[in-house]
Structure 1
Amino acid sequence: MTQTLEERMIELEPPLRLARESDASQLADLVNYAGEGLPYYIWTGLAEDGQDPWKIGRARQAEKAREGQIVVVDFGSGAVASLTGYKIGAEPVEIGEDFPALFRPLQELENQALESWYVNVLACYPEHRGKGYGSRLLDLADEIARAEGLARMSVIVTGDNIGARRLYERKGYKEAAQAPCLKEDWETDTERWVLLVKSLS
């Protein structure tokens, strides 16, 4: 079972704090910003007739918050940025014939980043960008990884997200691999996924 940040003895100082269930609406927004609309596409596929996809997104984020796995930036009026990640183990995930095509290239890239701490979501509301929140959260991600005994970081970005890539490269990440984006019915200009990795040693 994954440890919470508190169990790892990671201390958060304001404006950083653990996310709460009450942040679910903002967290769903932030996840969708980070995923460039892919999360909403996934939630839409999960929605039953007449169900609001955002309700599914909020429920999923509330569950992650309950598990103590999300850190947010909050100056007193709610989350304006967030970080979610997890440890990639030593064994690659098997990609069988029934593995969803949309996620296949993403999993193939993750399988090239074994034994790393994977930045799954790093997001900030557009009006709060350029203030250093992403950099601060990435520093925290490094701290979490070291606490878990990991020696490297990883993240997957879209090939056309120049701003995100510049941020990660400033923090020491380098391109390790690419994979084509299999869009299905997801409306996006994204053509390729890019795996970036960073050594902590």
Structure 2
Amino acid sequence: MEPHHEVSAIRAATKDDATAMAELVNMAGEGLPVYLWRRMAKAGEDVWEIGRQRARREEGSFSYRNTIVREADGKVAAALIGYPLPDTPEAFDPADMPAMFVPLQELENLAPGTWYVNVLATYPEHRGKGFARELLQVADRLAAEAGTKGLSIIVSDANVRARKLYESCGYLETASRQMVKEDWENAGTNWVLLVKRL
């Protein structure tokens, strides 16, 4: 019997991946995306449909255009969302931004000119197969192609498993900021910025 080889299981996302993207971004964000979509929803509007609509956008950080997916058995098993950050951080007024985002924006601004890994998530049934590591290798390649000086990622200090993975791939903690949670429930205390130099 011939060994089975999957044909190019890593590909650019399309609008048809919006459902998986919404689910995976919520996993990576530990429920924060759904918390925010719920606040955006009008009466009777499906929270998940808001996530899918956002995934289908042509613009914005959470867009299928910034997404690479890893398939297994013909279905999306994992996803990476990322893009280069500007060389000069945009000035921002914390008063113009929801308080929850201020620490995240402050950390992002400490990694100008890096390729930002916004989302990396794998469905539970596919964890432990190395898909996240494969996608981080794709991120390394995209970061080099974009001419960035490195990569950056922000993770909750409570997400020990993800952090171990990033550190094993060469990411180092460079800063942290206290979380602002409002009514969002999360085990973490701080957001941690990890940077990998190319």
1:75 positional shift: 2.7
The aligned residue for residue 6 of structure 1 is none
Please give the per-residue CA displacement for 1:47-93, whole angstroms capped at 9, x wherever unaligned: 01111110000111122597532110113432110011011112222
Query: How much does 1:129 deviate?
Result: 0.6
Deviations 1:158-200 (A, max 9, x none): 0010000000000000000000000112122221100000011
Matched AA of 2:81: T
Q: Secondary structure at the match of 2:112?
A: coil
Q: Percent identity?
A: 47
Q: Please, which runs of 5 or more residues in structure 1 have no aligned partner?
A: 1-12
Alignment partner, residue 41 of structure 1: 35
8 Å Cα contact 1:116-1:150 kept in structure 2: yes
Q: Which sits farther off after the overlay, 74-83 or 114-123?
A: 74-83
Aligned to 1:73: 70
Which residue does 1:147 correspond to in 2?
Answer: 145
User: Residue 46 of structure 2 aligns with which residue?
Assistant: 52
Root-mean-square deviation over aligned CA pairs? 1.5
Structure 1 residue 106 and structure 2 residue 104: aligned? yes
Indicate how the Cα distance of structure 1 residues 119 and 142 shifts in structure 2: closer, same or farther if over 3 A, else same.
same
* Other-structure match for 2:22: 28
Kept in 2, the 8 Å contact 1:93–1:107? The answer is no
Count of aligned pairs: 188
What per-residue deviation string (whole Å, max 9, x for no partner) do you get for residues 17-60 of structure 1?
A: 11121211111111100000000011101101111110000111
Using structure 2 for the length normalisation, give the TM-score. 0.91
Match among 64, 84, 89 for residue 87 of structure 1: 84
Distance 1:15 1:62 in 2: 21
Greater shift in the superposed pair: 35-44 or 92-101: 92-101
- Structure 2 distance, partners of 1:102, 1:92, is 19
- Secondary structure at 1:45's aligned position in 2? helix
For 1:128 and 1:111, the matched residues in 2 are separated by: 33
Question: Distance in 2 between the 1:86 and 1:32 partners?
Answer: 18
The answer to whether 1:190 aligns with 2:191 is: no
Match of 1:5 in 2: none
Alignment TM-score, normalising by the size of structure 1 = 0.89
Q: Distance in 2 between matches of 1:67 and 1:28?
A: 10
**8 Å CA contact retained: 2:54, 2:63:** no
Question: SS where residue 154 of structure 2 aligns?
Answer: strand
